[in-house]
């Protein structure tokens, strides 16, 4: 029996162009799952904040879902404090200002991963905590993605290089002008989440339609 392959990337799914075709195999798989009533379809337009935390530089990006994913803003928060505590405070203040200004509905952030250097891993974890806790004032839903998962969704391979991620982010969002590596990574995380949630929304609509 021929196995149907799930679309791996945004480019393949044509999410940025508003393509709504989903493999029939995915619908069949959803129908064979446990007979639980489907959840309500998510809102048509959702604002997503993507975060790529770092103890010295935290990338951020805001996109909106809808008929297609649209770019809102991106950039990086440079923490220049003399101590780690000072830098964590700067990260918190920067992300807090962002969430207050753009009011994201959902936050997508890179999942914690094992680092070769224990000290670097500890600092990264603290920066991640500072950035994430700064979003809680607007009570968003939080989603985590592994680095390979983000690269796979945006580029089509989990082993993609930073330059490939930057290139695909530019193409998918039709961006021009300078784009820093940290901002590009944050955009990739936001796009990965948009890809995931829009695919689930399309599945929901198809399954609900077939049940009528």
| Cβ–Cβ < 8 Å for 181, 166 | yes
Do the strands 57-64 and 70-78 form a parallel or antiparallel pair, or are they unpaired? Answer: antiparallel
Size (the chain), residues: 212
* 3-class SS of residue 71: strand
For every residue of 101-139, DSSP letters joined together read HH--SEEEEEPP---SSHHHHHHHHHHHHHHHHTTGGG-
**Which of 64, 106, 182, 185 is flagged as catalytic?**
182
Residues facing residue 71 across a β-bridge: 63
The residue with tokens 């791996």 is: 8
From the list 64, 96, 110, 185, the catalytic residue is: 110
52 included as an active-site residue: yes
Contact 140, 193 (CB under 8 A): no
Backbone torsion region of residue 206, taken as left when φ is above 0, otherwise alpha when ψ lies between -120 and 50, otherwise beta: alpha
Q: Any catalytic annotation for residue 39?
A: no
Per DSSP, the three-state class of 67 is coil
86 counts as catalytic? no
Q: Which of 52, 96, 106, 185 is catalytic?
A: 52
Give CA–CA dist 22/203, Å, rounded: 7
The dihedrals phi and psi of 60, each to the nearest 5 degrees, come to -140, 155
Question: Could you list the active site residues?
Answer: 52, 110, 182
């Amino acid at each position: 029996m021929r196995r149907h392959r799930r679309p791996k990337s945004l480019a393949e799914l044509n999410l940025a162009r508003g393509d709504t075709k989903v493999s029939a195999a995915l619908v069949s798989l959803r129908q064979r799952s446990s007979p639980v009533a489907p959840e309500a379809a998510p809102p048509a337009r959702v604002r997503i904040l993507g975060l790529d935390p770092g103890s010295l530089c935290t990338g951020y990006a805001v996109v909106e879902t809808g008929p297609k994913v649209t770019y809102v803003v991106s950039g990086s928060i440079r923490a220049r404090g003399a101590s780690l505590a000072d830098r964590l405070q700067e990260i918190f203040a920067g992300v807090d200002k962002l969430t207050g200004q753009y009011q994201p509905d959902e936050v997508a952030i890179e999942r914690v991963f094992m680092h070769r250097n224990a000290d670097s891993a500890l600092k990264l974890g603290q920066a991640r905590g500072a950035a994430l806790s700064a979003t809680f004032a607007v009570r968003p839903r939080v989603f985590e993605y592994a680095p390979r998962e983000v690269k796979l969704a945006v580029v089509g391979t989990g082993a993609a290089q930073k330059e490939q991620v930057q290139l695909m982010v530019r193409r998918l969002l039709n961006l021009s002008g300078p784009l820093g590596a940290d901002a590009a990574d944050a955009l990739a995380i936001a796009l990965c989440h948009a890809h995931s949630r829009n695919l689930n929304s399309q599945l929901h609509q198809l399954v609900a339609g077939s049940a009528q």
